[in-house]
Structure formats: C-alpha cells, structure tokens
Amino acid sequence: MIIDGKKIAEEIESEIQQEIQKLKGRRPGLAVILVGDHPPSHIYVNKKIEACHKVGIHSVKRQFPNDITEEKLLIELQKLNRDPHVDGILVQLPLPKQINPITIIQSITPEKDVDGLHPINVGKLFSGDTSGFVSCTPLGIKTLLERAGINVQGKRVLVLGRSNLVGKPVAALLMQNADGANATVTVAHSLSKNIPELCRSSDIIISAMGNPKFITLEMVKEGTVIIDVGIIKIDDPTLNKGYRIVGDVDFDAVKDKCSFITPVPGGVGPMTIAMLLSNTLKSFLNKIDRDAKQTR
Ligand code: GUN
C-alpha cells in the first residue's frame, strides 16, 4: 500500500488551522531565514511560508546574501529571539561556508527552535523529556507511521543515514520508551558493511541517504515497510521541466513487495512541513502558558 503523505499532511494542517481559528488575539508567528542562493532551499522555504499562510500562522521570510557574515546573521537572530510576535525561528540549511551552522543553531533560543536542532532540544529528545521540540522530518515520519496504522513496537527498524536532521533524531525517537516507539533500531551509514543484508533483516527501512534508487528489489523482504526520505533531482529530457524528483528507493521495482511504502514526492516531504506548523503552534501555546504563569 502506498502511504499518501500529502493527504495525511493536509489532514494535520486542517486540524492546526481549526485550532488557530479558535484562538483569540495574536496569531502564532514563524520566522524563516534563508541565506544565499541554494535553489532547493528557496523552493522548501517558499513551501513553508505558503503552508503558514494556509493555516493562519503569521510568517516572516528574512533573506540574506550568500556573503553575509556570521556576526550579522547572529545579530538578526538575536532580534528574532526577542521579538514577541515570533514563536518559531528556522534557519534553512545548508548555510554558506563562512558560517558555522553549529554556532547559528545554538544562538536560537531553545523555546523558539521549532526545527528541534538546538542541543537543549536534542538533549531533551534523547532523555525522553517531551517538553522540547523534535526536528520536523523525524516527527513527520513517526506521525506518518502512526496515522498509517503501523506499530513500530518491537520491530526491527533500519535507519539509513546518520545526519543531525534525520538519521540521528529519528533513531532516538523510535527507540524511546514511549507510545508510538519502542522499536529495535539499527543505524547504518555510508561506511556500514553489508547494507543489503541489514535491509533484508529489517521490518521497517527509513532511508535518508540522498542516493537515487539505492534500495533495490533484492534488498527488501516481503512485507517490509519503507519510508523514503531521499529527495534527488535527476535530469529527464522526456519531461517538459527537464527533470524528475526521485527518492532512495527504486519505487516501481519494490512497491509490490512492501506492505507499505512512501512515494517521492508526496510522502515524507509534506509531513516535514506539517510538523513545522505543529511545532510553531506548540511554541505559541507554550508562550501563552509561560505568560499566564508569570501574571498569576
Ligand atoms: N534543509 C533541509 N531540510 C531542512 C530542515 O528540516 N530544516 C532546516 N533548517 N533546513 C533544512
């Protein structure tokens, strides 16, 4: 069965929209920072801004040239940290070479880090403290599995890729002692030995490698669940636009062997955006709670 991530994301966005419509006063606000001219980042950021607009989140897009200094960017982030209309701050990655992403991420106040990348939020995830923010793609994957009715408890989950954005946090999230988790997680990466064998012995494969059609029919056992996080643009002169977007999985070859599989596009991608909106609403509600406690 093909998991329709777009439809599930739309359902979640409609739930968020209804919650926001019930709010009185200020609306939740998200600031998105885009540095330089990395074309996919422009597309992703525009999708995030569009989604905010759809559900009623106030969004600010701050765009900076490729040669902005780290100091200037840090000053901008300090302003957003203090801005009472901004509940969430997201710095789109990758950043240009002169800017250290670790310094930038650590300068965002953890209460507004809706991307869940600040060490405080990463630490909360690893220690099972649910008050923090979990990064959007891992949270989207967990939500997608839950809404598709796939129970990961006790299952052998293979995560391919060890990035801070996807591989590491999704492994932490699914191995937790918590509802919707309790999986037996293996993390493999580019230097792992015998990935085909690891794939064949897994119940669920979450692939976040960015390697087109890496997962082939021989690597998949009957009934496996595949979550494809890869998004790769490949040339295709037969199409008007001249390219196609594909994932890490040879979708057409393996789809009939899987019990569930996510397509690319239309699988995990829309869920990442829905989770960003959900985290922004969570941050807004946290702020209302903190303000109410202060005035008590
Ligand atoms: N670049 C690609 N995916 C992401 C994401 O989820 N967050 C940020 N900040 N940058 C990205």
Predicted confidence (pLDDT) per residue in 173-190, tens digit: 999 999 999 999 999 999
Which of 34, 41, 46, 93 has the most ligand 1 atoms within 8 A of CB, as the residue to mutate?
Answer: 93
CA distance 6 to 276: 15
**What is the DSSP pairing of strand 184-188 with strand 204-207?**
unpaired
> To the nearest whole percent, how much of the chain has pLDDT over 70?
100
Q: What pLDDT band is residue 237 in, cutting at 50, 70 and 90? A: very high
Concerning whether 78 is annotated as a catalytic residue, the answer is no
pLDDT digits over 150-181, tens only? 999 999 999 999 999 999 999 999 999 999 99
Residue 296 has pLDDT above 80, yes or no: no
Residue pLDDT, tens place only, 54-95: 999 999 999 999 999 999 999 999 999 999 999 999 999 999
**Residue entry with tokens 């969430």:** 88
Residue 183: per-residue pLDDT:
98
Distance 157 CA to ligand 1 centre (A): 23
Region 3-17 average pLDDT: 98
| pLDDT for the residue numbered 218 | 98
Question: pLDDT tens digits, residue range 94-125?
Answer: 999 999 999 999 999 999 999 999 999 999 99
The full set of domains in the chain, from first to last, is 23-109 (3.40.50.10860), 136-268 (3.40.50.720)
SS (H, E, C) the chain: CECCHHHHHHHHHHHHHHHHHCCCCCCCEEEEEEECCCHHHHHHHHHHHHHHHHHCCEEEEEEECCCCCHHHHHHHHHHHHHCCCCCEEEECCCCCCCCCHHHHHHHCCHHHCCCCCCHHHHHHHHHCCCCCCCCHHHHHHHHHHHHCCCCCCCCEEEEECCCCCCHHHHHHHHHCCCCCCCCEEEEECCCCCCHHHHHHCCCEEEECCCCCCCECHHHCCCCEEEEECCCEEEECCCCCCCEEEECCECHHHHHHHEEEECCCCCCHHHHHHHHHHHHHHHHHHHHHHHHHHHHC
> Is the CB–ligand 1 distance for residue 137 below 6 Å?
yes
Q: How far is the CA of 133 from the centre of ligand 1 (A)?
A: 14
Residue nearest ligand 1's atom 9 by CA: 92
For residue 236, indicate whether it is catalytic. no
pTM (whole model) above 0.75: yes
Mean of all residue pLDDT scores within the chain: 97
Q: What CA–CA distance (Å, rounded) separates 230 from 209? A: 6
Distance of alpha carbon 45 from alpha carbon 10, whole angstroms: 18
Is 136's C-beta closer than 6 angstroms to any atom of ligand 1?
Answer: yes
pLDDT at 295: 83
**Does ligand 1 have an atom closer than 6 angstroms to the CB of 279?**
no
Specify the residue with its C-alpha closest to ligand 1, atom 1: 93
- CB of 275 sitting under 6 A from ligand 1: no
Residue 92 among the catalytic residues: yes
The alpha carbon of 15 and the centre of ligand 1 are apart by a number of angstroms equal to 23
